Amino acid sequence: MSNKEIANAFDLLAKIMELHNENPFKIRSYQNAYLTLRKLDTPLADFGMEQLMEIKGIGEAIAEKIQSLVKTGSMPTLEKYLVKTPPGVVEMLKINGLGPKKVATLWHEHGFASPGELLYACNENRLIELKGFGEKTQSAIIKAIGFLQSSEGKYLHHLVTYHASEIINMLGLAVPGSVTILTGSLRRGVPIVETMELLTTCSRVQLEKFMKNQPFEWDLPSKNNDKGMWQEFLPIHFYFTTGHDLIHDLVSTTGPRSFAQHVLDSPDKSFNTETELFKSKHLPYISPELRDIQHIEKWSQKELDLLINHQYIKGIIHCHSTYSDGIHSLEAMATEAQVCGYEYLVITDHSQAAAYANGLKLEQLEAQWLEIDYLNQKLYPFKILKGIECDILAHGDLDYNEEILSRFELIIGSIHSVFNMDETKATNRLIRAIENPFTNIIGHPSGRLLLSREGYPLDYARILDACKANQVAIELNANPQRLDIDASHITKCVESGVYVAINPDAHNKTSIKDINYGLISARRGALPASLCLNTMTANELISFCKKR
């Protein structure tokens, strides 16, 4: 299990215990465990009991539960509460905007035991008269349930990739000489997928023998089946191939179909690489994440080379440290970026309004600036830029006064509260922030959390016009749970000539590498390197920010 999956188990345990009105101190300890564990970058599977108990807030009881999850994939305490909680009630906890207290009220006092029952009641206007709800809440619940239902059977790219890597590694050891490769929409970098697709040279017999000892069940047990379920929740589709047909079948199964049909004709000829196959068709190599771009097969090598890729990236923008809600120190974050080969890092801890994230007041800012000055001498020629992720307040104002704002080298304006907005209100709020002369980047513009929270509606044409007029960049937040803005809007940025900043929003050292998810998404939107803020040197970036 990944750290996030282990952390999520404690989050679920805390919520279910709250449904049952259990000891609030225990609930709080599990909530704290969730908040701590989700930020760790070292795999929890590598920790022994003593090491686990050295983590702040992790005592013996929680450490034992972590060990149980690592070794067995389950936690007896959580299983106990799941047994006495209707599955539909557990599903209700996934409805955005409904916390455990409201779910408990709906279940215990009004008898609702599933999202479906609750939606039916909302459609009959039965929540309007309930204490603590009302018409506005009812409308929000209807919308949230619709989003939840539309997300069923869908999975985040990075989580599926994590499990796919496990399977590929284990299968390689179990069947020496075999080749198993990611394919389908997962290989093309689509952020939300419905199944894990794997192309393998294993025979059916070899695969079935391997899967007998794994948490896997075939859909329909038979010798010809190629689909099943991993760990009771993740669908897998295996495509069988041979060494001779591997490259042809890899292009075919990667898709999309229209692209594959254009590139492929007969599988008779064997190729050693995809590049070799493309060359035989007089085409430059087109990497998987680009293959959804319309008519990409008509692009020249020169046009493809202009697109953003990792070799153009000079610096990391948007990172958090222990000054706010990051897990590693400023120096540790900077050193990691330096080790990864970057020239600079823009530290952007949270502003004062973000009390939940230990937002920085002036005294803390000045302490951080002093440390940055010291580290810039120590780490030279690597450079740390003085930035901030500044809350965009309800009416579009930035969190600090002008005197403080003028002292930053880069300012990301982000919305972190009051998400329930219509298109006009949300658009106007962002445009007011864009027109603020101190704003340089608009962070995670739509506020979406993939499969968890729908973004607020925006008039992107107006927003991009404002960005162009005010020399403000749009963030592509590379956190794989956000990928905000969407690749489809990257295309609109390119058409408008608006700069894009590909930012990991890193809260720990490992998450700096999340920029790679953003690069895939940016390439899916055909972002040229010339419009990417991260390709600038530190001095060029500072000049860009000062031009306003």
Q: Which residues neighbour 514 within 8 Å (Cβ) at sequence distance 6 or greater?
A: 478, 479, 480, 504, 505, 506
Question: What is the pLDDT at residue 148?
Answer: 83
Q: Tens-digit pLDDT profile for the chain (548 aa)? A: 788 889 999 999 999 999 999 999 999 999 999 988 888 878 898 899 989 998 888 999 999 999 999 988 889 999 999 999 999 999 999 988 889 999 999 999 998 988 888 988 887 788 887 888 888 888 889 888 888 877 888 889 998 998 999 999 999 999 999 999 999 999 999 999 999 999 999 998 898 888 888 878 877 655 556 888 887 788 999 999 998 999 999 999 999 999 998 888 766 678 999 999 999 989 999 999 999 998 898 999 999 999 999 999 999 999 999 999 888 999 999 999 999 999 999 999 999 998 888 899 999 999 999 999 999 999 999 999 999 999 999 999 999 999 999 999 999 999 998 888 999 999 999 999 999 999 999 999 999 988 888 899 999 999 999 999 999 999 999 999 899 999 999 999 999 999 999 999 998 899 999 999 999 999 999 999 999 999 999 999 999 999 76
What are the backbone dihedrals phi and psi of residue 500, each rounded to the nearest 5 degrees, phi first?
A: -120, 135
Q: Could you list the residue range(s) of the whole structural domain that residue 366 is in?
A: 310-398+453-546
Q: Please identify which residue in the block is written with the tokens 């901030």.
A: 388
Q: Which residues of 127-143 are buried (b: 16+ CB within 10 A; e: fewer)?
A: beebeebeeebbebbeb
Domain limit, last residue, from 69, 85, 101:
85
Question: What is the pLDDT at residue 218?
Answer: 77
- 62 sits in the region (left: phi over 0; alpha: psi -120 to 50; else beta) called alpha
Helix axes 460-470, 423-434, angle to 10 degrees: 10
3-state secondary structure of 64: helix
DSSP 200-263: E-S-HHHHHHHHTTSSEEESS-STT--EEEETTTEEEEEEE--TTTHHHHHHHHHS-HHHHHHH
Q: CB-based burial of residue 223 (10 Å sphere; 0-12 exposed, 13-18 middle, 19+ buried)?
A: exposed
Domain limit, last residue, from 33, 61, 85:
85
Strands 180-182 and 196-200, sheet pairing: antiparallel
Helix residue ranges per DSSP H, 413-459: 423-434
Question: What is the pLDDT at residue 408?
Answer: 97
Question: What is the pLDDT at residue 285?
Answer: 95
E strand residue ranges, 348-469: 383-391, 410-414, 441-442
Question: What is the pLDDT at residue 222?
Answer: 55
Domain limit, last residue, from 85, 111, 136:
85
Query: Residue 440: inside a domain, yes or no?
Result: no
Number of domains in the chain: 2
Cis ω before 267 (30° cut-off from 0): no
Nearest CA to 517 out of 485, 478, 489 is that of: 478
Q: Which residues neighbour 524 within 8 Å (Cβ) at sequence distance 6 or greater?
A: 188, 189, 289, 290, 292, 293, 487, 490
pTM (global) more than 0.85: no
Question: What is the pLDDT at residue 225?
Answer: 63
CATH number at residue 329: 3.20.20.140
Query: Residue 50: inside a domain, yes or no?
Result: yes
10 Å Cβ neighbour count for 546?
Answer: 10
CATH number at residue 72: 1.10.150.110
Query: Residue 339: inside a domain, yes or no?
Result: yes
